[in-house]
Amino acid sequence: MDDLIKKTAKKLVLAKNVAALTGAGISVESNIPPFRGPGGIWEKIDPMQYAHIDAFIKDPVKVWDVLLKNMKEIIDLAKPNDAHLGLARLEKLGILKTIITQNVDQLHQKAGNTDVIEFHGNFAWQRCMKCNNRFETRKVDLTKLPPQCECGEIYRPECVFFGEMIPPDDIERSEQVALECDIMLVIGTSAVVQPAAHIPVLAKRSGATIIEINPERTPLTKNISDWIIIGQAGRIMNNIIAELEAFL
Ligand code: APR
């Protein structure tokens, strides 16, 4: 592993344009559970019953009770971990340009990253389904669900539910980032959900080096990633930053 840490640090120092694609795994060390695998949310509840837009429109109270209430309590308490802080450090050093995240927890922004594409939206804001009025999720009164707008319509979280399209601007920008980067760090994603999982494939095809960080191999590991560093993102990012700063 140490060789891969050194190799990654050296590559990052020499790079011109580094991007990162992140998933739920990067926030596990901030006590936010992943969706799949051991302890995954979808191991306990059916995403098509509770995280699909049709389910939300049909019965928003059920979706709040079973999924969103818990998400709010966990995200309200969550703090950036060493992996988030490591990516913020890479931006400060002028190495990392853009993060494309599938996470809705805004921990990258809280860590200090300034260019974050929220590919699956965010959970920090609610938006009225009629007049687009917005308010912060942390102000939602969990005793009065679903939250209602003055216009009489209900609010919905600004995250992308299953059954919804990714906003075209976010797809376009993410594809641009993939085509222009010379290194893409792929951290904490199972790489099974499209179109996000296709972004490293695009980057690879345009000549970028793909470096995965994950305790497990993924569908990208065999044919797309140049190498994978197996382990927890927090500790690995700490080691990469320490190694990298020794080169600077
Ligand atoms: N550090 C790095 N990676 C980790 C860690 C850790 N500490 N802990 C777990 N992982 C890895 C797991 O091995 C797994 O590959 O993170 C990945 C989490 O995978 P998922 O739970 O499937 O999350 P993600 O890939 O982000 O899911 C994609 O699916 O449910 C939808 O919209 C939701 O954005 C989400 C999308």
How far, in Å, is the centroid of ligand 1 from the Cα of 22? 8
Q: Is 41 in the pocket of ligand 1 (CB under 6 A)?
A: no
Q: Which of 19, 20, 24 is nearest to 192 (CA)?
A: 24
Residue 119 · residue 141 · CB < 8 Å: no
In the prediction, which pLDDT does 205 show? Answer: 98
Give tens-digit pLDDT for 39-93. 999 999 999 999 999 999 999 999 999 999 999 999 999 999 999 999 999 999 9
Q: Is the CB of 216 under 6 A from ligand 1?
A: yes
Statement: residue 24 has pLDDT above 90? yes
Q: Ligand 1: which atom is nearest the Cα of residue 162? A: 32
The pairing of beta strand 121-128 with beta strand 155-159: antiparallel
Residue 1 scores a pLDDT above 90: no
Whether the Cβ atoms of residue 12 and residue 244 lie closer than 8 Å to each other: yes
What number does the ligand 1 atom closest to the CA of 104 have? 34
The span from the CA of 118 to the CA of 71, in Å, is 17
Dump pLDDT digits (tens) for 40-50: 999 999 999 99
140-191 tens-digit pLDDT? 999 999 999 999 999 999 999 999 999 999 999 999 999 999 999 999 999 9
Residue positions counted in the chain: 248
pTM: 0.97
